[in-house]
Amino acid sequence: MNPMEVISSTKNKDFNGPMIGDDSKVVVEFQGFQKRFGNKLVHRDVSFKVYRGECLGLLGGSGAGKSVILRSLIGLERADAGKIIVDGLDITTKREHELIEVRKKVAYVFQNGALFDSMNVYENLAYPLRAHTKLNEFEIAERIHEQLCEFGLEGSETTMPANLSGGMQKRVGLARSIILQPKVVLYDEPTAGLDPYNTIRIQEMILRLKNKGVTSLFVTHDMPSVFAVCDRIALLLDGRVQAIGTREELESASGGGKLARFIRGEEI
């Protein structure tokens, strides 16, 4: 593999990180990841690192396998070859029951919020706490109240998902995803279909989590949101990460070619 990798030296000073290039701060790493569906080879040799507190934008055309990367990080898809290392652990060697602990560290924010329709907001947020912690009901109520207040959702506890706006559904989905205080958050098109106001709200939440040291991968076609929240951008093309770096580095390194056109939101 000979990707055009661009390493950024920029440091986020909010929590003394992420320090791009400091391997002691790597939280997620793909090494030679390969994935095939039938006769279709989606990923032939994907390799990249994500550092503590970094938000890495994962971009590529339709069918590039961006969501496959996210699903593979929590074991919903299995690698055909290569390694996926999360917090120092190679999850490709783990059995299904061993992935439970990994999934407590890695939250997946689905595009539609993925709320339980039969549960109100409070019960949606309480579900993972009851299933995966030893908190009592008073402690659960406190955690939920804090989470809803932080996301501007106080007073919505008894509301059913069907009665929430699209923007509120996504915010509740994000609140539930991070209520176990994960180390890594995976965003799969979190701003898709939202109006500008709610898009900004989601951006603000992602930045707030990043400033707390949460590591994240951000899959989207929403280029303004990528520029607003991501430290670096990785471009998936032809089954590989062809380039990785800041917006400025990629535009400069691509010399105005197809990578620069992609960053500008043009078809390639």
Q: pLDDT per residue over 198-242, tens digit each?
A: 889 889 989 988 988 899 999 988 889 999 999 999 999 888 998
Q: What is the CATH number of domain 18-263?
A: 3.40.50.300
Cα 144 to the center of its chain, rounded Å: 22
Mention every residue, 6+ apart, whose C-beta is less than 8 A from residue 143: 129, 135, 179
* Helix, strand, coil percent values for the chain (each to nearest 5): 40, 25, 35
For residue 191, give the nearest of 153, 161, 220 by alpha carbon: 220
- Tell me the per-residue pLDDT of 142-174, one tens digit each, with 9 for 90 and over: 999 999 998 888 999 999 999 998 888 888 988
DSSP 19: B
Mention every residue, 6+ apart, whose C-beta is less than 8 A from residue 9: 20, 21
Pick 111 or 144 by higher pLDDT. Answer: 144
Residue 57 has pLDDT above 60, yes or no: yes
Q: Report the percent of the chain where pLDDT is more than 70.
A: 85
Q: Structure pTM?
A: 0.85
